[in-house]
């Protein structure tokens, strides 16, 4: 069954149905479109299901509102359709407010973007980046997309690839860091490698070296707070600019870490998506500076 034949009609998604006589609507939607029973039940309770002769309409795009204060700023949109949004987060910005009513976060800007483009979506971020880490952040634009993308996260099917500049020459050139991470009881805002911490696995590969630094590709197998920063510090190769974990700030005043590629399956159509986030200027400048230093 071709999922791409589904058509949005305002708040509704019209889906073709080709089901056996003995097959219920719910069984057909689950088997062919992976729409869970709980969501169908919820839609039915709110008059969100309409059936036709050979199709069904689901009210997947209802009017929604959020409590986030809208705050306009330029937003670097990397991918968008009716189900999901991927944006390139700048440095120095939290993904969401720590307290209700706060501004200055990516959530406030995404809320403004939805409003100014005539979209009534709640803010549903699927994963986070540290305040001073740049790169791709994924949002679900409706409840079905959130259910499917959250499940992909749980099953480790959303892959996040980072680039980072580390202090020193990292050896070996490729490796797997398997070291559990827990809270640092001496520093409430820090994490540390701890035998009693949560499982944390990072894969890395050196892609370029300089006089006293290395450029790395990294892939997360788990998603612990500050995972890359803690793991590289544990290897005695902290990120350039990461003063919290031992990096020097002479060349850069924030951790040199960027979420470059986000790979996931579309939450409705199932297509494989690889979304690339361009490097920010400060990392491009750092790369140029490091290359000049070895001439």
pLDDT tens column, 181-204? 998 888 878 899 998 889 999 999
* Active centre residues (catalytic): 130
For helices 37-45 and 143-154, give the axis angle rounded to 10 degrees.
160
pLDDT of 291 above 90: yes
- The pair of structure tokens assigned to 225 is 């707070």
Per the listing, tokens 């400048």 go with: 285
- Long-range CB pairs of 155-160 (<8 Å, 24+ gap) are 156/221, 156/222, 157/264, 157/265, 158/126, 158/127, 158/262, 158/263, 158/264, 159/219, 159/220, 159/261, 159/262, 159/263, 159/264, 160/127, 160/136, 160/219, 160/220, 160/223, 160/259, 160/261, 160/262, 160/263
Q: What mean pLDDT, rounded, does the chain reach?
A: 92
Q: Is-contact 85 42, C-beta < 8 A?
A: no
Average pLDDT rounded to a whole number, residues 102-115: 95
- The pair of structure tokens assigned to 266 is 């579309």
Of the candidates 164, 163, 182, which has an alpha carbon nearest to the alpha carbon of residue 261?
Answer: 163
Average pLDDT rounded to a whole number, residues 261-285: 97
Q: Is-contact 159 203, C-beta < 8 A?
A: no
Instruction: Report the Cα–Cα distance between both ends of the chain, in Å, rounded.
Output: 58
pLDDT of 88 above 90: yes
Q: Identify the band that residue 1 occupies on the pLDDT scale cut at 50, 70 and 90.
A: low
* pLDDT given at position 119: 94
* pLDDT given at position 51: 86
Of the candidates 160, 163, 141, which has an alpha carbon nearest to the alpha carbon of residue 263?
Answer: 160
11-25 pLDDT per residue, tens: 999 998 877 677 788
pLDDT of 61 above 70: yes
- The CA distance from 286 to 276, in Å, is 20
pLDDT of 295 above 70: no
């Amino acid at each position: 069954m071709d999922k791409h034949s589904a058509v949005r009609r305002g708040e509704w998604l019209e889906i073709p149905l080709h089901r056996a006589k003995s097959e219920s609507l719910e069984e057909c939607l689950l088997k062919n479109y992976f729409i869970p029973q709980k969501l169908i039940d919820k839609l039915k309770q709110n008059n969100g299901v309409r059936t036709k002769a050979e199709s069904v309409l689901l009210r997947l795009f209802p009017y929604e509102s959020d409590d986030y204060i809208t705050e306009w700023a330029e937003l670097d949109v990397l991918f968008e359709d009716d189900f999901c949004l991927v944006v390139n987060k700048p440095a120095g910005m939290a993904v969401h407010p720590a307290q209700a009513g706060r501004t200055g976060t990516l959530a406030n800007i995404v809320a403004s973007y939805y409003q100014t483009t005539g979209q009534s979506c709640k803010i549903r971020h699927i994963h986070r980046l540290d305040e001073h880490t740049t790169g791709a952040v994924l949002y679900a634009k409706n409840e079905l997309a959130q259910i499917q993308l959250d499940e992909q996260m749980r099953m480790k099917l959303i892959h996040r690839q980072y680039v980072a500049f580390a202090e020193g020459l990292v050896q070996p050139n490729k490796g797997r860091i398997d070291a559990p991470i827990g809270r640092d009881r001496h520093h409430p805002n820090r994490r540390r490698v701890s035998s009693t911490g949560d499982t944390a696995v990072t894969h890395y590969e050196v892609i370029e070296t300089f006089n006293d630094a290395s450029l790395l590709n990294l892939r997360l197998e788990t998603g612990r707070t500050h995972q890359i920063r803690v793991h590289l510090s544990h290897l005695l190769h902290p990120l350039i600019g990461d003063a919290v974990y031992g990096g020097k700030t002479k060349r850069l005043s924030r951790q040199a870490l960027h979420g470059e590629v986000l790979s996931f399956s579309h939450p409705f159509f199932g297509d494989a998506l690889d979304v690339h986030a361009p490097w920010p200027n400060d990392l491009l400048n750092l790369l140029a500076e490091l290359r000049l230093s070895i001439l």
